Structure 1
């Protein structure tokens, strides 16, 4: 890690370093023969431009494979609106090389810079630009290394040779709203699928998404601070309205096409695509209400599909990273919620049990499946918030953990594996940053950590987080408590409380790590006892825990914040007469909800980018949890904020970026109008030109300072 600038305050450093991610290694791949590790990393903790690197697993030597400053001649990147939107969807704030694709041998890489196409030979370090029709998106090199396919902002899918010749169109849009080879908005924002085309293992053809967003309703996002600029047109599929029409086509290198068929009406969402040598291509498709999904096998000769598996659930079904997939010998690998346990299934056998809660599949080898998991229902966990990477044989008889210092259950762990090499990233509560180690498998299956440690150039935080982890209340709600640095109970007495939740689906905040808690510690150091509680609906505690919020955001998630607060007050110095709450996105919704519905518990709130009316949020997310608005209008009314406006008795600050195209500013404007109509005073802080991520350094810094000032004044401090 690198040192910080002496004049840094935490808010400025936190914003400038993108939450201390700048300079940290990321996006790892391993060559199939285990000879090299490929990754991204910038030159320092203050330089956002990532370089492409390789690490030789025989020597541990790191080498630059592609340097954006060299390739662009020292010029600045020029990103297209489509690429900016793509990065917004993936919450990508860095620059330079932000993604890459490898050939089957892991020798060549393809990537985009400033909308242009580049390749790098990872053995020689030779990187060069290829002629391409840009601005382009998501270039992917063929398994044989002979071609690169890419999408562009004109909606085309194009193909070029890696020798720099033969650039041509494979598919071009039939209309202005059609794209080939690009994931549609819902796939990127909600389904965690940012790819729109997939190479066959032999490099002879591709599976390509065709998306037509003509049916999607148009919204217009204006910049009131610059009235001379035209509003941006956004195709936004709000709950209950039409989605984009998504299909798949098999396209060979000569341009021949075969349409892929499945029951689009019953299963309109294309959630996952897997194409490997282990079997036919696999598609995971979901019904609109996500209570049913199918794993389909694709006949590449005809485009027809066969139902290999159908699942149903009364609440909803999840699409998990890394599955469905094939083992090399043709067994289907998936993650299932059957029997109330989120288990890893290989073939017809569940190979993990109720003690684990599966999160993703990391890799599938000839003998093992690598996966990430947390602690099931958590009844026997020593502490909340651990996530570990394990490996288990296909028959479930041999299980081991990719542990750091012999502590598999006290680290947040992620990993990639190939060719007998595992790259493992671990983070612990008492150590800043992330430790990335490269380990080699021995023939006996023993893992040794003697290959290399990948250097991190991330800055060292100017403060130290001191989370105290607890399971709070009868529901054993995973929680973390932060007290001011140097706090003395006899001297300082009870502390005003600041609840700091996300509190919603896919938003785990209580983790066994250091850096994710720095923001909460900084708020604590301003004179608060800060509480972070992951109530029902947050991931990691079993399917029943996550799905207990079905059709009830406003009840379950808020009730658990109250229960955690009161339970923790029995042990920690929490002044329950002075309680504020803050949050962003779902956390902003939860914060506003808290003062609207429970003013007896919460005395002030800061709500950042809150969803005020769920009918204004997107289809896949909202309908999964609340159902279709035409079928359950009472659920939408009960879970939206505007209907509770007349109940506001406490100070409320609402913050919203006017350029936000995820939770659009209309949410805050409608809530403010409802509060005004009810005669309820409140504060609105509009952020001109700011999106949902608020990446601007000065904005992010001052937002923290303004929130502290508002909360202190509101609590009479």
Structure 2
């Protein structure tokens, strides 16, 4: 019988040992929890997406916190989102969102409808003309969406639809859609924004006509012609970016008012390369954040939407780089001021903290401070003068909810924030509209996620939304153990955190053991945290069950440690990250856990890059590497990400050369397994092809595992199982 996703999944039920299928099974043990949690507008209900059968196919449920009753609110009659019924545009958008969920994947509140009433389909979406990025207006009467690259509005009361923009085309001009760079690198998924009063919509016009198309062929298909090719306007490092304009249109239709802003024009004098964020303030005031090409200057602009005229109300510069954020929060009124202002976040002290600004952009002082960072503004109570936020005050491996004064007295030192969450580990929170309670999603190395509703006054328990025992069935059957978190010093004395997965000494004897190092190592990601996700790192646990020691460590350049720690990577990709991973390997050898010549690495994307670089640069220590979807030369990756960390190719030629894997392969002695999807539109398969060409020229062997129908991460279950089987065979033979 051929292996299909269904037969592969069915094989899990009868396994009594740690099967390789467990590595790829979703959700992970303990992670079949509710997601996308939100309060109803009146805070009487809490909605969430959940799969009772612990699959990725989710339905919409609601909880009444007072009664504790859970009800199924909506289940799509046709099953909802499925990988097989999506258009090409929708599939690519799911790649940008890193979305795996099926069934119901998104919802928004309008009003409460009797769950017994049969759902009404307002507007169909078909693969030939899909509805992209629909959003309900703040007053709940309209739905804005993009179809055929134009912005549309559906009146939900009268079921009448209207096209609001015109002039788009299939190839180069779009209205209301976020461009590739915005979605992939800027964490800006939207291309239009409702005004607070629901009368206006701000939107982007994206012009990609100056970007050469990059063609991707579906070479695993049986057919030929246009159906098996994709053309992407992909902006390579050093090349042109898309041009982005910002317009405003009435929700009822009419002429577009264009703001005085065109991003992406290029040129040395242009410091408005990227449209990073768009926000409305009360009174129909539109703001935009624009970033220069080198990521060292950000401007906050305020527009008169009738004339399009602009005013710079804030400008921030940093010689390392500026990290984008979503902390801009409008305030109606500030004490001793005639008008309102806003909350802003800055890393000007080296750590991201909150600052209070008046409506003209003048900074009135810090709201938080210290050698730790704010992660999210969770809620603001202007009447009580309080701001609620999550951050790393209790250490970089944890995340908690805190409360502090919104309007601090400039004549006194800042008061220490009040912690509202209980229990070590990671806390994600959702606060209700009335600022009375919050949902706390809490997990740690020792505890799977549990979800509770708590008082915003002191964090005391109100009710439980979802809780499961520590001995999750799959967890118990597979005898998973949390890794040991260890602190190691980098060459410059910086503290680095690692996680150690030790084989069972009773079964495999004392160390040293064969060792594999799990690497990511790039910006904006932190692997080692006090979180259940590390305990159910199933590849690490699988290798541990085979007698292999697994180590992961966050090198300098990774996330949640401040700007200096992250900034060590500037112009240094493939250098300081790989060197810190070498330090980790040397520590393992010194402690007796590992043995020289029996250490390998594995990683994906940036982690695949660092794995290959470390193998090539330090051949006496590393014996093998599994490199998944690696960037092998930064001139082949996109403008925004690459130039932020490496600068422009024309201004850092030696840096680009030194950071290329191909530059170091003459030193390579160990075994290399390259894994890549051939239709990867993010890190193109070309990266692997260029490395293979260089390896052949240098007469260096490698193994190649390719997936003709996969993108940046394999999605099909049978492909993921096959990949894990080949990876284990490679590790077993190489170490």
TM-score, normalization: structure 2?
0.87
Change beyond 3 A, Cα 1:10–1:374: farther
Change beyond 3 A, Cα 1:423–1:711: same
2:730 maps to 1:710:
yes
Change beyond 3 A, Cα 1:278–1:364: farther
Match of 2:37 in 1: 28
C-alpha separation between the residues in 1 aligned to 2:59 and 2:578? 43
Match of 2:452 in 1: 437
Match of 2:354 in 1: 344
2:184 maps to 1:189:
yes
Structure 2 residue matching 1:630: 3-state secondary structure: helix
CA-based RMSD of the aligned residues comes to 2.5
2:81 maps to 1:78:
no
Match of 1:114 in 2: none
C-alpha separation between the residues in 1 aligned to 2:601 and 2:528? 16
Deviations 1:499-552 (A, max 9, x none): 101111112110111233423222222211111000111101111000111000
Query: Structure 2 matches for 1:520-559, cutoff 5 A?
Result: 520-559=540-579
C-alpha separation between the residues in 2 aligned to 1:87 and 1:215? 26
Residue 12 (structure 1) shift: 1.8
C-alpha separation between the residues in 2 aligned to 1:580 and 1:31? 50
Higher relative contact order (CA 8 A, sep 6+): 1
2:121 maps to 1:129:
yes
Contact 2:220-2:708 at 8 Å conserved across structures: yes
Change beyond 3 A, Cα 1:200–1:451: same
Match of 1:412 in 2: 426
Deviations 1:2-29 (A, max 9, x none): xx83437554234231445873211122
Deviations 1:581-610 (A, max 9, x none): 111100000000011111122111110111
Structure 2 residue matching 1:612: 3-state secondary structure: coil
Match of 1:117 in 2: none
Match of 2:517 in 1: 499
Structure 2 residue matching 1:371: 3-state secondary structure: strand
Residue 373 (structure 1) shift: 1.7
Residue 334 (structure 1) shift: 1.8
C-alpha separation between the residues in 2 aligned to 1:555 and 1:289? 21
C-alpha separation between the residues in 1 aligned to 2:652 and 2:73? 54
C-alpha separation between the residues in 2 aligned to 1:77 and 1:584? 26
Residue 60 (structure 1) shift: 2.5
C-alpha separation between the residues in 1 aligned to 2:149 and 2:723? 38
Name the stretch that deviates more: 361-370 or 573-582. 361-370
Change beyond 3 A, Cα 1:172–1:364: farther
Match of 2:437 in 1: 421
Residue 412 (structure 1) shift: 1.3
Query: Structure 2 matches for 1:170-181, cutoff 5 A?
Result: 170-176=164-170, 177-181=172-176
Match of 1:112 in 2: none
Structure 2 residue matching 1:495: 3-state secondary structure: coil
Match of 1:448 in 2: 460
Contact 1:101-1:140 at 8 Å conserved across structures: yes
Change beyond 3 A, Cα 1:422–1:124: farther
Residue 676 (structure 1) shift: 0.2
Structure 2 residue matching 1:635: 3-state secondary structure: helix
2:144 maps to 1:149:
yes
The alignment covers a number of residue pairs equal to 678
Match of 1:362 in 2: 378
Change beyond 3 A, Cα 1:122–1:314: farther
Counterpart among 263, 270, 276 of residue 271 in structure 1:
276
Contact 2:297-2:322 at 8 Å conserved across structures: yes
Change beyond 3 A, Cα 1:20–1:99: farther
Residue 282 (structure 1) shift: 2.7
Counterpart among 223, 232, 241 of residue 243 in structure 1:
241
Residue 77 (structure 1) shift: 6.0
C-alpha separation between the residues in 1 aligned to 2:579 and 2:73? 52
Structure 1 residue matching 2:189: 3-state secondary structure: coil
Contact 1:131-1:167 at 8 Å conserved across structures: no
C-alpha separation between the residues in 2 aligned to 1:328 and 1:308? 17
Match of 1:259 in 2: 258
Residue 32 (structure 1) shift: 4.2
Change beyond 3 A, Cα 1:336–1:29: same
2:58 maps to 1:50:
yes
Gaps of 5+ in 2: 1-11, 264-269, 334-339, 358-363, 409-413
C-alpha separation between the residues in 2 aligned to 1:284 and 1:10? 49
Counterpart among 262, 285, 288 of residue 283 in structure 1:
288
C-alpha separation between the residues in 1 aligned to 2:105 and 2:292? 32
Contact 2:375-2:389 at 8 Å conserved across structures: yes
Counterpart among 396, 402, 413 of residue 390 in structure 1:
402
Counterpart among 390, 408, 414 of residue 372 in structure 1:
390
Name the stretch that deviates more: 193-202 or 641-650. 641-650
Residue 124 (structure 1) shift: 6.8
Change beyond 3 A, Cα 1:39–1:255: same
Structure 1 residue matching 2:143: 3-state secondary structure: strand
C-alpha separation between the residues in 2 aligned to 1:58 and 1:178? 50
C-alpha separation between the residues in 1 aligned to 2:282 and 2:550? 51
Match of 2:494 in 1: 475
Structure 1 residue matching 2:644: 3-state secondary structure: helix
C-alpha separation between the residues in 2 aligned to 1:308 and 1:489? 65
Match of 1:111 in 2: none
Change beyond 3 A, Cα 1:27–1:225: same
Change beyond 3 A, Cα 1:564–1:328: farther
Contact 1:83-1:137 at 8 Å conserved across structures: yes
Deviations 1:463-513 (A, max 9, x none): 3242101111232111111111x3249933311211101111112110111
Query: Structure 2 matches for 1:295-694, cutoff 5 A?
Result: 295-320=300-325, 322-329=326-333, 330-347=340-357, 348-366=364-382, 367-375=385-393, 381=395, 385-394=397-406, 395=408, 397=415, 399-403=417-421, 406-407=422-423, 410-418=424-432, 419=434, 420-432=436-448, 434-441=449-456, 445-454=457-466, 460-461=474-475, 462-463=477-478, 464-473=480-489, 474-484=493-503, 486-488=504-506, 491-517=509-535, 518-519=537-538, 520-571=540-591, 573-694=593-714
Match of 2:336 in 1: none
Contact 1:536-1:560 at 8 Å conserved across structures: yes
C-alpha separation between the residues in 1 aligned to 2:79 and 2:348? 51
C-alpha separation between the residues in 2 aligned to 1:74 and 1:333? 37
C-alpha separation between the residues in 1 aligned to 2:625 and 2:80? 48
Match of 2:24 in 1: 15
Residue 227 (structure 1) shift: 5.8
C-alpha separation between the residues in 2 aligned to 1:10 and 1:212? 49
2:201 maps to 1:206:
yes
Structure 2 residue matching 1:174: 3-state secondary structure: coil
Change beyond 3 A, Cα 1:226–1:72: closer
